[in-house]
Amino acid sequence: MESTPAIFAGAVFVLFGGALLLWTGVRTLHRAPVAYGVSPAVSGVLAGLVGVAFLALGLWCFTRL
């Protein structure tokens, strides 16, 4: 019963992290701004790091099962 929240949290984190990485990659390839008013390089790197962090957090949740 205690594994259900870990599965849910892990799935949410992995889906969000993957979607953020995909969205950031597509925006960067099309040379569209990732965040308005910020340098494209800084916003792309920061969004990529946040996406990787969410993926890592989701995988960590799955190891807690």
Predicted model pTM: 0.88
Q: Measure Cα distances from 22 to 14, 17, 44, 62 in Å.
A: 12, 9, 11, 21
pLDDT digit string, tens, across residues 26-39: 999 999 999 999 99
pLDDT at 46 (0 to 100): 96
pLDDT digit string, tens, across residues 47-56: 999 999 999 9
Q: How many domains does the chain have?
A: 1
Range of the domain at 59: 3-63
pLDDT digit string, tens, across residues 5-30: 989 999 999 999 999 999 999 999 99
